[in-house]
């Protein structure tokens, strides 16, 4: 059971380049999300999805796009990378018991993707 798999683990980009961080889970989890982690800032929610075809913005969505065409995959796209997007990115998923309103999400995290934008 692989859990949450993120690729690549490391990436260096130049300003203005585009790229996609991949996230895949094999636990049939409905809920998936992306966080970025910066020193002194903790983890901040970028985007999240409550199921295939449904996405929503988190705390810091600007500069990032997401889509959810399948239950398993939730890619994060940087259309024009900026140095401010240098960070460690984490994907996390969960199975939401009895719907979203009363359920408590216990997240399973991937190992992270370290991105440097020069």
Partner 1 sequence: SQQGEEDPQALSIQEGENATMNCSYKTSINNLQWYRQNSGRGLVHLILIRSNEREKHSGRLRVTLDTSKKSSSLLITASRAADTASYFCGLGTSYGKLTFGQGTILTVHP
Pick between residue 30 and residue 117 the one whose CB is nearest to partner 1. Answer: 30
Reply yes or no: is the peptide bond before residue 8 cis, omega within 30 of 0.
yes
* Element at 36 (helix H, strand E): strand 31-38
Q: How far is the CB of 4 from partner 1 (least distance, A)?
A: 8
Q: How far is the CB of 28 from partner 1 (least distance, A)?
A: 16
Contact yes or no for 36/44 (Cβ under 8 A)? yes
Pick between residue 14 and residue 28 the one whose CB is nearest to partner 1. Answer: 28
Pick between residue 12 and residue 100 the one whose CB is nearest to partner 1. Answer: 100
Instruction: List CB contacts of 106: < 8 A, sequence separation 6 or more.
Output: 94
Pick between residue 17 and residue 63 the one whose CB is nearest to partner 1. Answer: 63
Q: 9-19 burial by CB neighbour count: b if 16+ within 10 A, else e?
A: eebebeeeeee
What is the C-alpha separation between 13 and 70, in angstroms, rounded? 27
Q: How far is the CB of 114 from partner 1 (least distance, A)?
A: 9
Q: How far is the CB of 63 from partner 1 (least distance, A)?
A: 18
Binding footprint of partner 1 on the chain (CB under 8 A): 4, 31, 33, 35, 40-45, 48, 50, 58-59, 90, 92, 94, 96, 100-112
């Amino acid at each position: 059971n692989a859990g949450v798999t993120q690729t690549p683990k490391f990436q260096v980009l130049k300003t203005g380049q585009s790229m996609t961080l991949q996230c895949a889970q094999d636990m049939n989890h409905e809920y998936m999300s992306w966080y970025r982690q910066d020193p002194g800032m903790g983890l901040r929610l970028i985007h999240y999805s409550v199921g295939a075809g449904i996405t929503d913005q988190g705390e810091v969505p600007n500069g990032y796009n997401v889509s959810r065409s399948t239950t398993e995959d939730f890619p994060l796209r940087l259309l024009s990378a900026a140095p401010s997007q240098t960070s460690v990115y984490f994907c996390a998923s969960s199975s939401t018991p009895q719907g979203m309103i009363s359920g408590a999400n216990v997240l399973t995290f991937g190992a992270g993707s370290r991105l440097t934008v020069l």
